[in-house]
Chain A
Amino acid sequence: MKLRVRVRYFAALREALGAEEWVEVLPGSTVAMLRRQLVQRGGVHARLLAPDRAVRCAVDQQLALEDTVLVDGVEAAFFPPVTGG
């Protein structure tokens, strides 16, 4: 039984990958596993979300670590390091 995660992108990632999409992941998936899953699509996802690229993640609108576990229906956002202020 897969979980559905609302993946959102911001800034340069949004311009290249779109604003959001629903992604199916296995139960127990972490942020790192989701990111790897997106990279596995190849193309622009692979290029922009590769492990050596500075990409931050927020789960449920809070900054998350790679090992944060995802649950069904959660919102997971990927974005470049922030530049406000």
Chain B
Amino acid sequence: MREFSVHRVSIQTQDFDLSAEVAALRAGDAAVGAVASFVGTVRERSGVGAAADSAVSAMELEHYPGMTERSIEAMIDEATARFDLRQVRVVHRVGRLLAMDQIMMVAVASAHRAQAFQACEFLMDYLKTQAPFWKKETTADGERWVDARVEDDQALARWGQWDRSDRSGIVARNV
């Protein structure tokens, strides 16, 4: 791990710039060979099963201050150890967002791409099921709290228990 780390987690209302975040993530670290990232955005239509399929015009993101940061820090600790990461950055917005706005990002830096790709997906699966955020969508029909998806819990389960003696950290995926 680097001696001087970027601040790993930010919960904020303002937008972020992925390329600036990635530049800061790997700045001055010649041991980085791979950076993988994910950005989540507000999609205009709500998910399958909505009878009226009303367009989502806006979204309100609530969170549990204190627990939010702590839970993401814990996820980052596990990902860092498991995938031998050099740096991680998670930014998650809260408050009111509009269709096509950026919601959140994850970026990870490691020596090689296998760790980077898997760590990014691992962190997303964890974030989707463990981080205390709740979305409320605004549509033409009114406001509605988004339901959690069974698929997200299933996605988390596939990472299984990590054996610390496994130095590669890479899991055989049986999806």
Q: How many residue pairs at the A-B interface have CB separations less than 8 Å?
A: 72
Q: Are A81 and B148 in contact, CB atoms less than 8 angstroms apart? A: yes
Give A85 to B123 CA distance when docked, in angstroms.
Answer: 10
B67: nearest chain-A partner, CB-CB? A61
Among candidates A14, A61, A63, residue contacting B130 with C-beta atoms closer than 8 Å = A63
Q: Determine the interface band of chain B, counting residues with CB < 8 A from chain A.
A: 20 to 34
Instruction: Tell whether B70 is near chain A: CB-to-CB under 8 Å.
Output: yes
Q: Are B128 and A84 in contact, CB atoms less than 8 angstroms apart? A: yes
Q: Determine the interface band of chain A, counting residues with CB < 8 A from chain B.
A: 10 to 19
CB interface residues, B 58-75, toward A, < 8 Å: 61-64, 66-67, 70-71
B92: nearest chain-A partner, CB-CB? A84
Interface centre among A14, A61, A83 (most CB of B within 10 A): A83
Give A62 to B70 CA distance when docked, in angstroms.
Answer: 8
Instruction: Tell whether B129 is near chain A: CB-to-CB under 8 Å.
Output: yes
- CB contact under 8 A between A84 and B64, given known A12-B145, A62-B70: no
Q: Are A82 and B133 in contact, CB atoms less than 8 angstroms apart? A: yes
Q: Are A10 and B128 in contact, CB atoms less than 8 angstroms apart? A: no
For the complex of A and B, the 6 pairs showing the least CB-CB separation, nearest first, are A84-B133, A81-B148, A11-B134, A61-B67, A85-B128, A85-B127
Residues of B within 8 A of A (CB): 40, 61-64, 66-67, 70-71, 92, 103-104, 124, 127-136, 145-148
